[in-house]
Structure formats: structure tokens, C-alpha cells
Amino acid sequence: MSIELRLSDVDPPASEPKRTIYRDIVNLPSTVKLGLTIRYFNHDDVDLYFQITGSGTGYTFGTVNLGLLASGANAYINLDELASRAKPSASDLPNGEKEENITLILKGYTDGGYTNLKWTYERIVTVHWINSADAAFTVDEVDNFDDGTAQGWAAENIANNDTGFPTLAIATDYVLSTPYSIKMTSQGPLATAQVESRIKKDFTTPNKSKVFAIFDVRASGNAIDSPLENLQIRKDASPLVSLGIPNATTTGHKFPSDRWIRIVVPLPANTTLTLDVYLLFRDTQPSIKTVAYAWMDDFKIISK
């Protein structure tokens, strides 16, 4: 096959690791959207125009024209709201869980009008739904910050923040459960730089067969900032989920800002680890301070 689609940064010819998208139905709207970051490859000996769509029972997929990719090249793109479906009901998730499959369909065309199809590549992805409010789950941790404290979370500079940044504060401007969330403020130097920050906390996970962490996060930049590039949920500084592309050159590669995003990740049992929300943005304003914000609310760890 002369084109390929991956959901990781693992390079061919190594096998693509299994990818599962985890989702929690609690407090989601009646119609839920699906976005993800993909990596696509042109293994052909000619340049090709790429297109991505998908299929799945109950899903509505959009079609995105990705443009020209040179022979031998690969590229990342963040696909914001590629698909939608009605939110599963609690009764759809016996014992609090349900799995379904969707198919991502990558096409390679020889023309910019997307009429001369040369290659089609399909990848099946598992979507694992959970209902964190189901009695089958034990709620091991809830950090909703409604006591007016950060509940053990801390902000940390990874690279190129101004002195004294990032900061972490109790916030009221964007919350999911009133009255409070936490808000990290990062500030770049008066120079072009890649600024990296994180909100972190240490945990010891329960000794159960299934353990999940549920993050509700939101990020934004100030008016003169170029779009935020990359948001990750990490375990011990290793990415579990990554949205958007570091060093991206077009807005379509960057993760969606100015909205709440829910990210669910499985965790190992009976393990002491550090979880963090990692934020990367590029300071491109050498004469003006560039600022980025990240909020979090209603963090949970559940198990069964």
C-alpha cells in the first residue's frame, strides 16, 4: 500500500500500536463531536492529494481535503470535529462501559480536483465509552477546586517562561462546576521562543483491573498570540494523548482553543505516577509579552 494513516508518532516500518479513544458520557451534550490528530504518509513515487473521511454506525463524518503531499513525505494534521454522533445513554453502557469501532478512510488522488483516485487506506479505531457515574465504578479522586484551593496541583515551567511564570490560581472566569476551576497562566519572553508549561500532580492509582483519569481542560491565548500549538495529557512526562502539532505552520494543525475539551486516559493499577496537562505555544511577538492560559475543572480518577 502506497499511502498510510497512523495515530501515533511511531515511524514505519515499525508496527502502529493499537489506538483506542476513551470517552466519558457524564455531562456531555446530546450530540458529541469527535476530533483527533492524525499522521498520513505518501509512500508512492508521485506527489498525491490527500483526503480523509470515515464511517461508523450512528456517526456522521465530514470530509477534509488535506492538499498535496510530496512523494516520500508525511504530515500531521489536527482534525477538529471530524465526526459527530448522538451521545450514548446510560442504558447503552451495561456495567458502565461499551466499545464500538469506527473506520478512518484516507484517500490519495493524483489531481487537485480529487477526482482521480489512486489509493484508499482504511484504519479501524476502537471508541471505548464509559459512564463514570455508573455504580460499577469507584470514584477514587475528584478535584473540582470548589473548596477554593488547587487540591495539590501545581504549575511548572518546562521551557522559556518569563521569570515567575507559569502561575496557578483559582479561577471563576471559566468553570464547569461552580464556583471555581484552576487556571495556569504562562508568559513568553520578549523574544521568539517555544514556551512550554504544565499543571501537574502526583497520584497512587488503586489496585483495580481498570483505572481511568478524566480531564476537562480548556486553553486560550491573548489577542496577539499565534494559535496554541500543542496540548498533551502526560504520565511521567510521556504523552498519553496529544492534540495539535508542535512547530505547526498552519492554524489547521493546531489544537482547538477557547472551548472545554474532555480527555479520558487509562492508567496502570497500583502505581505511583505524575499526571500533567502540558501546553506548548510559540512566542512570535518579540516586542510584546505573549500569554497563554489553561484551565482545568472536575478532574476524576475512577476504577473498577
Residues above pLDDT 70, as percent of the chain:
94
Min mean pLDDT across 7-11, 247-251, 264-268, 280-284 is at 247-251
Query: What dihedral angle (degrees, nearest 10) is formed by the CA atoms of 156, 162, 168, 173?
Result: -140
Helix (H, G, I), strand (E, B) or coil at 8: coil
DSSP state of 14: S
Q: What is the 3-state secondary structure (H, E, C) of 199-213?
A: EEEEEECCCCCCEEE
Q: Which residues on neighbouring strands pair with residue 15, listed in sequence order?
A: none
- Burial environment of residue 252 by CB neighbours within 10 A (0 to 12, 13 to 18, 19 or more): middle
Q: Would you state the pLDDT for residue 287?
A: 75
Min mean pLDDT across 2-11, 181-190, 239-248 is at 239-248
Domain boundaries, the chain: 3-130, 138-303
- The CA-atom distances, in angstroms, between 108 and each of 8, 73, 114, 119 are 20, 13, 8, 5
Q: Topology of 138-303 in CATH?
A: Jelly Rolls (2.60.120)
Q: pLDDT for 94-112, tens place per residue?
A: 999 999 999 999 999 999 9
Tell me if the bond preceding 13 is cis, omega within 30° of 0.
yes
CA-to-CA distance for 24 and 62, rounded, in angstroms? 23
- Determine phi and psi for 95, rounding to 5 degrees: 60, 25
DSSP secondary structure string, 256-287? P-SS-EEEEEE--SS-EEEEEEEEEEEE--TT
Query: What's the pTM value of the predicted model, to 2 decimals?
Result: 0.93
Q: Which residues on neighbouring strands pair with residue 291, listed in sequence order?
A: 187
DSSP secondary structure string, 134-162? STTSEEEEEE--TTSS-TT-EEEEEESPP
Q: pLDDT for 252-299, tens place per residue?
A: 567 778 899 999 999 999 999 999 999 998 776 667 788 899 999 999
DSSP state of 94: G
Q: Would you state the pLDDT for residue 40?
A: 96
pLDDT at 76 over 60: yes
Neighbours of 212 (CB within 10 A): 22
* More confident: 242 or 131: 131
- Burial environment of residue 153 by CB neighbours within 10 A (0 to 12, 13 to 18, 19 or more): buried
Domain 3-130 has CATH 3.30.1490.100: no
Q: Would you state the pLDDT for residue 249?
A: 57
Tell me the pLDDT band of 248, cut-offs 50, 70 and 90: low
The answer to whether the CB of 287 falls within 8 A of the CB of 227 is: no
